[in-house]
Structure 1
Amino acid sequence: MTNVGIVTGGGRGMGLECARRLPEIVDVLLLVDLDEAGAARAARALSETSPVTRIEPFALDVTDRDGLARLADRVAGLGTLRAVAHAAGISPTMADWRRIFTVDLIGTALLAEALRPLATAGTATVCFASMAPLLGGPASDPAVRAILDEPLAEDFLDRIRDAVGPSIEDTGLAYSCAKGGVHRFVSHEAVRLGPLGARICSVSPGVIDTPQGRQEAASNPTLGRLTDATPLARTGRAEEVAAAVAFLLSDQASFVNGIDLLVDGGVHAALRTHAASLH
């Protein structure tokens, strides 16, 4: 049977680095990206370095239910779903708070909903979250968490605004909250998929040197301070995050399920240690 892989946001950045790893475990790889031309360029380039694996671009907005249904149909027509790296997402400088929630959390839930019927023994998924919610924010509030656990509710955006208040319109806060929702979604989805023999985890990158990361750093001085606090004394590289994703998708991680893997150079540990020393 043909093994099929999917990388969302596969046209550039960390998604593209993940795509470089997947030909090791799949026969056909679908590069999903909103940027159709970018996905096509990436597919051509990867095809030159991975001639054994068939690589196809697939233009898609991950918030589009009809498009996601087409993606699921394409996978089913090709073979067995083996691996999904869901790297598509937007960061605080890229949109307003509603769009951030819609892409980063609701889109994650919609993708999982569309692909769930294809999950089988050996299927593995990794969703991109962030270290941001681990630094604090509304996602730690039990009332907010209860709402985050229902991202596909029709009134989700109104409910989250009512629970958090006007501050949710701050895009940095919205991003942190949405990514906290991804952490929780992965935990719940692992319970749903486990009986099928399928797995799902998330990765939470720290400050990573990508074009999107540099765009955020230029407008948010906090990211520079986080880099300074990182025990490894540098930003991360996209290929380092992709290596963690590749491990979680591999058979070597066959008993790793429902967890978040923090890839941050130790900055969260440093901040926790500093906080503990103040008490």
Structure 2
Amino acid sequence: MTTVGIATGAGRGTGEACARRLADMVDVLLLADRNDAAAAAVAKDLSGSGRAVVEPFGVDVTDREDLARLAERVSGLGTLRAVAHAESIEPEEADWRGIIEVDLVGTVLLGETLRPLATAGTAFVYCASVSPLMAHIEPDPVVAAVLDDAGQEGFLYQIREAIGPAVEDPAWAYPWATYGVQRFARAEAVRLGPVGARVCSLSPGAIDTPQTRLEAARHESVRQLIGRTPLGRTGRCEEVAAVAAFLLSDEASFVNGVDIVVDGGLCAAVQDE
């Protein structure tokens, strides 16, 4: 049996770090990224360095046809074993629509497309964020119902109506989107458990990336959050990927439907505020 893994956002940052871990966990690894050149560069670097045959795969996670091509490729290669989904857009990179489309809608569409390929032993990790915890996101039932149907046509209109104009601020769109990812992962765990597949979400805190450094330079609030992290530093993409690799491994065979926080203790430091 040929096992297949997928790492999304694999051309940089956490997605690339996850890809490097998955290269030793599956037989064939697809590096999915909107940036074809970035994915190809990582694939070239990884080729021959691990167990897997590594293949770049250009894909926009908000495009259903692209995702259908990805699922078809997986089916043609073997059995889906592990998915590390780290494709995302940060608040500084897009308006509220782009953030919600990529971070939440893209996650849901990817999950729905790959769901029929899940079997006993398949594991999914969807990267979210600690931002919903920092922002104290607690939706009422109406908003929760809308969030739970993020794959529907007209979702952006529906979520704007449900949450209100505040969601048009990228700094608020991001925690709402990643909260939706956490909810989706829990729901998928319930849906896929009967076939023996597992689903978790992973919520990093401040991770040392070019985007985090840019935000810290621009915003005092970001610098303060980093400063309040009990470990006294930002995290590394490799530290997030190590947790993702554990969740995708057989060692985590009874870990399902939970969100794992990787934040150096930040949430513990601010939980009572």
TM-score for both structures, normalised by structure 2: 0.97
**What is the CA distance between 1:136 and its match in structure 2?**
2.4
- 1:246 aligns with 245
**What is the CA distance between 1:49 and its match in structure 2?**
2.1
- 2:28 aligns with 28
- 1:37 aligns with 37
Extract structure 1 runs of 4+ deviating beyond 6 A.
none
How is 1:83-98 mapped onto 2 (pairs within 5 angstroms)?
83-98=82-97
Give the secondary-structure state (helix, strand or coil) at the position aligned to 1:224.
Answer: helix
Contact 2:25–2:52 at 8 Å: present in 1 too?
no
- 1:12 aligns with 12
- 1:226 aligns with 225
**What is the CA distance between 1:216 and its match in structure 2?**
2.8
Equivalences, count: 273
Cα distance change on mapping 1:247 and 1:60 into 2, 3 Å: same
Q: State the alpha-carbon separation in 1 of the partners of residues 172 and 142 from structure 2.
A: 16
- 2:236 aligns with 237
Contact 1:33–1:39 at 8 Å: present in 2 too?
yes
Unaligned runs of 5+ in 2: none
Contact 1:7–1:87 at 8 Å: present in 2 too?
yes
Give the secondary-structure state (helix, strand or coil) at the position aligned to 1:24.
Answer: coil
Q: Deviations over 1:100-125 (max 9, x none)?
A: 11100000010011101100000000
- 1:119 aligns with 118
**What is the CA distance between 1:48 and its match in structure 2?**
4.1
1:260 aligned onto 2:254: no
Q: Deviations over 1:36-72 (max 9, x none)?
A: 011000000011422x320000001111100100000
- 2:174 aligns with 175
Give the secondary-structure state (helix, strand or coil) at the position aligned to 2:200.
Answer: strand
Q: Which moved more, 1:147-156 or 1:256-265?
A: 147-156
Q: State the alpha-carbon separation in 2 of the partners of residues 17 and 192 from structure 1.
A: 28
RMSD: 1.2
Letter in 2 for 1:197: G
Q: State the alpha-carbon separation in 2 of the partners of residues 222 and 27 from structure 1.
A: 43
Give the secondary-structure state (helix, strand or coil) at the position aligned to 1:140.
Answer: coil
TM-score for both structures, normalised by structure 1: 0.95
**What is the CA distance between 1:139 and its match in structure 2?**
4.6
Q: State the alpha-carbon separation in 2 of the partners of residues 31 and 251 from structure 1.
A: 22
1:165 aligned onto 2:164: yes
Unaligned runs of 5+ in 1: none
Percent pairwise identity = 60
Contact 1:5–1:22 at 8 Å: present in 2 too?
yes
- 2:140 aligns with 141
- 1:131 aligns with 130
Q: State the alpha-carbon separation in 2 of the partners of residues 262 and 255 from structure 1.
A: 18
Letter in 2 for 1:256: V
**What is the CA distance between 1:153 and its match in structure 2?**
1.8
Q: State the alpha-carbon separation in 2 of the partners of residues 4 and 92 from structure 1.
A: 32
Give the secondary-structure state (helix, strand or coil) at the position aligned to 2:225.
Answer: helix
Give the secondary-structure state (helix, strand or coil) at the position aligned to 2:271.
Answer: helix
Q: State the alpha-carbon separation in 1 of the partners of residues 58 and 138 from structure 2.
A: 32
Q: Deviations over 1:53-96 (max 9, x none)?
A: 20000001111100100000000000000000000010101111
- 1:72 aligns with 71
